[in-house]
Amino acid sequence: MLRPGAAIPLLLLAACGRESAAPLPGAASAAPGAGRDRPHWAFVPPEVAPRPPLRRADWCRDELDRYVLARIEAAGLAPSPEADRATLLRRVSLALTGLPPAPEEVDAFAADPAADAYERRVDALLASPRYGERMAVDWLDAARFADTYGYQADWECRVWPWRDWVIAAFNRNQPYDQFVRQQLAGDLLPDADAGTRLATAFNRLHRQTNEGGSIDAEFRQEYVSDRVHTFGTTFLGLTVECARCHDHKFDPVSQEEYYSLCAFFSSIDEAGTYPYSTGATPRPAMRLPSPAQATDLALAEARLHTAERDCEAQRAARLPAFRAWLDAPPALAVASARARFALDGGVEGPTGDATRLDGDSGPSFPDLPAFRRCDPYSLVFWMLCPDRKARATVVHTSTFTIESDQQGYQVLLKDGRLCWEVIHLWPGSAAAVATVDEFPLGRWVQVAVTYDGSSRAAGLRVFLDGAPAPVETVRDQLDGPATVRSFQVGFRDRDVGFQDGRVDDLQLFDRCLSAVEVAELQRSGALAEAVARAARGEEVPGLLDFFLASDAPACAAAAALRQARAAHQDLLEAVPEIMVMEESRYPRAASVLTRGRYDQPDHARPVRADRAIDALLPFDAAWPRDRRGLAEWLTSPRNPLTARVEVNRLWSLCFGRGLVPTQENFGRRGEPPAQPEVLDLLAHDFVAGGWDIKAMLRRIVLSATFRQASAASPALLERDPANQLLARGPSYRLSGEALRDQALAASGLLVERLGGPSVRPWQPAGLWEDAGATGAYQPDTGDGAHRRSLYTYRKRTAPPPALLVFDAGSREQCLARRAPTNTPLQALVCLNDPVFFECAQALARRAAREAGPQPRSRVERAFRLLASRPPRAAEMAALLELYQAQEVELAADPAAARAILGADPPDPALAALALVCSTLLASDAVVTSR
């Protein structure tokens, strides 16, 4: 921590300065070889250093110990003795599972004379399902995983299935390169499946907004940038975000490279806001059916295909009947509309009175018949467009205003062209077409738009003045409900209305009108002419459809198809969805953004997804130009950073501090490793050994370095206060999650169940309301109160307060390392948080139950349950004194004893023991891993 005015001069402007930044004065941390001409240590691939000569080589258990010992010996010091078995087992258990060992496990380990006693414990810990949970905590920080979207309204987003994927991946020891590849590009892999696609949710865990008035393009760029920053920090330990506005000042990341990275991550068909009113899951998304749902869906899909085939077969089968009908047609008429709106507004129109629109208001028709996307329907109306419209809302059905709230159907003018769209969520889930030609101006045109209930763009047709208009497909990926209940004409709140446009006589049909019917609506007699032409042997498009629409066998097949679609959609739409990555079929052009501004693309500097950071590793021509290629680049053995960053993360997990302490920054401005040989050895071996995470952790915790006692001598403390030489074992304050989990485990309250929806343990009332956040926090009362903390519901704008006190972030952005602090509020949480006090109560009961009536044995039991080791004499004396004094006081105050225990009877000894346990929960022996 550097303070202004402290010893190190800090005269420079902010390092990322758009103004010139002076070279770093006193930049002691800028690494050996920080000059521009010499490559930075982290940007050259790791190599194993020569074996150093050692005096005490027998101390070493692993190759890594040799390098550590060499530095210790060079400093004229000696390594510390091995930690006692209780301490060691506690240390390694907390590191690998986030939970303390049970006293019985400690006893068994202490009494185990076998040479591999420790190894077997380590293997058991790595095999425990608790291992994956512990590993996930750090990964969730990096992935900015939360249960809400963040930003202002901060509504719930359902992404916990991805968290369970992470836990499972760690537990089955998925190699790190696969782990990374699947999260980056699981949708693009040759062996992609539901699991690998789910993994890509990693890229969608950034915050999203639905604040009214937000500009879609602005936030879409924010999301893309967030993916790139998370990619840089998590996998490369680089702050690529500096290059958003200009070439990176210190690290070799150019602005072009930044936007090329953006191009890898911007190729999905997403919206810049999530919906306010429809509840739709942002696209792209995948469905996560339960096994039963999957079975039902497969069945429904089969039925749907059968019904489609039947319908198609009817067209052929009914041809003879059609020909017979042509010879003797009955009275020809278009069946009347389901609803008709005169749109009388005092101006002259083709059917009398018409409406002129002002762009900010217009007719609204609530309570229309509800059309689903399996229902065919058509709209026929007259409109007059006075001038070329870049955008104008003509008819629409959405209830709210931001783009992602558009749902149902709509007719718009965009760039002068008429668009006909059926939408679940724009643009990721919609079927939409636009006319090839611009809409005629200055005259009345009869517009007919039809939809056949197929959820496909091919089922959308546009007719102008009775004739089919050629259209282009704009979107063809409708896969969610698009139910319609109302519509508005000529305007939409906060959208561009049909200013000075005129509309008249709108008819709504609950059928997909055939071309001949549309023609008939335009000009009476057109239908009869069509029949006559067909009878002469001419091919008349749409006439067969007209016939089939009133033909009993064809109608039966159509009804069956509609039924099959409805049944399939009912099932499908009940299946939970989750945001994932999926390449868009409608790519957007990408270019460098001037000064990083979303609205200032520099078209002279187009970018493609074809390079990452060349100074680290050029992009191989053989790699695909997409996220899969980027994953190849990242997991290439020649990438100098990927393995280093990961082994550093694993080291930090065991030691509480990385070999590179700035885990988030391996660049020139990060802190260089105090033990570069160890880092490079492990990085090298990690890749050579198949990116095996468990094997790497096992190796680290089995090392002599890790096994040392953490106690310092005055000389060592003086010489190496930060323990850079590793001449003593690790010690660090536990995370907020580990502290709570430890208390729950020791007291017997912990509910060990893997995965599932996030839970809501107790937190102080009113926090969500204070934040003005939607809804109140309702604490769980059952198992949810006592699950491991990684399952605790994470609301980004109101994070769990006790975790926040212990430096857990808000998950609003990627966090590679939590800053360890030591504050008064931490003491208050340990002593006063009802969750911790509940653990103290339960622990007292457990200790009393298991240790009998003797105060000394009770205290010892509680101490060992929490701290894993027996108390020393001075500790026992302090606790016994507290116990006995409080027992006397509480015997005189049964109300207090009852309150402390939260129940009758007001046993003063038990209540005093609860106070002892509460005190222990705040003590160093419990709070710190040593």
Partner 1 sequence: MRDPDRLLQPTRRHFLGSTALGLGALAMAELLSAPARAGGPRPRARRVIYLFQAGGPSQFETFDPKPRLRADHGRPLPDSVRAGQRLTGMSANQAILPLAGSFTDFARHGRAGIDVSDLLPYTARIADELCIVRSMHTEAINHDPAITFFCTGSEIAGRPSMGSWLSYGLGSANANLPAFIVLVSKDAARDQPLYARLWGSGFLPSEHQGVQFRAGKEPVLYLTNPEGVSPHARRAMLDALARLNADQAAAELDPEISARMAQAEMAYRMQASVPEVTGLADEDDDTFELYGSASRTPGTYAANCILARRLAERGVRFIQLFHQGWDQHGGLPAGIRKQCEQTDQASAALVVDLKRRGLLDETLVVWGGEFGRTAYCQGRMSPGDYGRDHHPRCFSMWMAGGGLKRGIIHGRTDDYGYNILEGGVHVHDLHATLLHLLGIDHEQLTYRFQGRDYRLTDVFGKVVHALIA
Please report, as residue ranges, which positions from 620 to 649 form the binding site for partner 1 (by CB under 8 A): none
- Return the number of the residue (291 or 714) whose C-beta is nearest partner 1: 714
Tally of CB atoms within 10 A around 32: 10
Which residues inside 233-252 make contact with partner 1, applying CB under 8 A?
A: 233, 239, 242, 250-251
User: Is 196 or 214 the residue whose CB approaches partner 1 more closely?
Assistant: 214
Binding to partner 1 (CB under 8 A) within 336-365 occurs at 358-361
Minimum CB separation of residue 227 from partner 1 in Å reads 14
The HSE-up count of residue 126 (CA atoms within 13 Å, CB side) is 21
Query: What is the per-residue binding string for partner 1 in 63-82, x denoting contact by CB under 8 A?
Result: --------------------
State yes or no: residue 499 binds partner 1 (CB under 8 A).
yes
* 1 lies in the site for partner 1, by CB under 8 A: yes
Verify binding: residue 600, partner 1, rule CB under 8 A. no
Binding residue (CB under 8 A) for partner 1 from 57, 458, 827, 903:
827
**Member of 313, 319, 776, 899 binding partner 1 (CB under 8 A):** 899
Kindly state whether residue 595 participates in binding partner 1, applying the rule CB under 8 A. no
Angstrom distance (rounded) from CA 417 to CA 437: 6
Interaction of residue 657 with partner 1, rule CB under 8 A = no
| Whether the Cβ atoms of residue 66 and residue 60 lie closer than 8 Å to each other | yes
Instruction: Enumerate residues 210-229 that contact partner 1 by CB under 8 A.
Output: 211-216
The dihedral through the CA atoms of 322, 325, 327, 332 has a sign that is: negative
Beta bridge partners of 371: 484
Residues 837-856 interacting with partner 1 (rule: CB under 8 A) = 837
Point out which span in 306-314, 416-424, 583-591, 714-722 binds partner 1 (CB under 8 A). Answer: 714-722
Binding residue count for partner 1, defined by CB under 8 A: 128
Among 805, 848, 862, 913, binds partner 1 (CB under 8 A): 805
CB nearer to partner 1: give 150 or 784: 150
Q: What is the nearest approach in angstroms of partner 1 to the Cβ of residue 484?
A: 22
For the bound state, the minimum distance from the C-beta of residue 793 to partner 1, rounded and expressed in Å, comes to 15
According to DSSP, the residues that pair with 438 across neighbouring strands are 417
Taking Cα atoms as reference points, which of 34, 37, 35, 79 lies closest to residue 56? 79
Q: Between the CA of residue 247 and those of 59, 77, 242, what are the distances in Å? A: 48, 45, 7
Among the listed residues 731, 641, 725, 723, the one whose alpha carbon sits nearest the alpha carbon of residue 675: 725
Interior CA angle at 547 toward 543 and 552, to 5°?
160
Which residue among 302, 441, 556, 771 contacts partner 1 (CB under 8 A)? 771
**Binding test (CB under 8 A) with partner 1, winner from 584, 804, 850, 870:** 804
How many CB atoms are located within 10 Å of the residue 2 CB?
10
Q: Distance between CA 655 and CA 732 in Å, rounded? A: 8
DSSP sequence for 290-323: -HHHHHHHHHHHHHHHHHHHHHHHHHHHTHHHHH
Kindly report the backbone phi and psi dihedral angles of residue 403, in degrees, each rounded to the nearest multiple of 5, phi listed first. -55, -40
Six-digit token string for 809: 């972030």
Neighbours of 347 (CB within 10 A): 12
Query: Least distance (Å) from partner 1 to the CB of residue 194?
Result: 32
Q: 241, 167, 158: which is closest to 205 by C-alpha? A: 158
Instruction: Establish if 749 lies at the interface with partner 1 (CB under 8 A).
Output: no
Determine, following the binding rule CB under 8 A, whether residue 860 of this chain makes contact with partner 1. no
Do residues 188 and 626 make contact, with C-beta atoms less than 8 angstroms apart?
yes
34 near partner 1 (CB under 8 A): no
- State the DSSP H helix or E strand holding residue 143, giving kind and residue range, or none if neither: none
Q: Which of residues 536-575 bind partner 1 (CB under 8 A)?
A: none
Measured from the CB atom, the residue of 654 and 897 that comes closer to partner 1 is 897
Distance from C-alpha of 76 to C-alpha of 209, rounded to nearest angstrom: 58
> Which string of x and - marks every residue 679-698 that binds partner 1 (by CB under 8 A)?
--------------------
Please give the C-alpha separations between residue 798 and each of 155, 736, 775, 821, in angstroms, as whole numbers: 11, 16, 12, 20
Classify residue 517 as left (phi > 0), alpha (psi -120 to 50) or beta: alpha
Shortest Å, Cβ 314 to partner 1: 46
672 binds partner 1 (CB under 8 A): no
Q: Identify which of residues 113 and 721 has a Cβ nearer to partner 1 in the complex.
A: 721
Does 911 help bind partner 1 (rule: CB under 8 A)? yes
Site string for partner 1, 184-213 (x = CB under 8 A): -----------------------x-x-xxx
Residue 235 Cβ vs partner 1, minimum distance, rounded to whole Å: 15
Of 196, 203, 215, 176, the closest CA to residue 264 belongs to 203
> Considering the rule CB under 8 A, would residue 20 count as an interface residue with partner 1?
no
Residue that is written with structure tokens 């240390």 in the block: 91
When asked if residue 390 is in the footprint of partner 1 (CB under 8 A), the reply is no
The footprint of partner 1 on residues 400-419 (CB under 8 A) is: 401-402
Nearest-approach distance from CB 339 to partner 1, in angstroms? 27
652 binds partner 1 (CB under 8 A): no
Helices 908-921 and 834-851: crossing angle in degrees, nearest 10, is 120
> What is the three-state SS of 245-276?
CCCCCCCCCCHHHHHHHHHHHCCECCCCECCC
Select 295 or 823, whichever has its Cβ closest to partner 1: 823
Identify which of residues 296 and 807 has a Cβ nearer to partner 1 in the complex.
807
- Segment 467 to 486, residues that bind partner 1, using CB under 8 A: none
- Using CB under 8 A as the binding rule, whether residue 151 contacts partner 1 is answered as yes
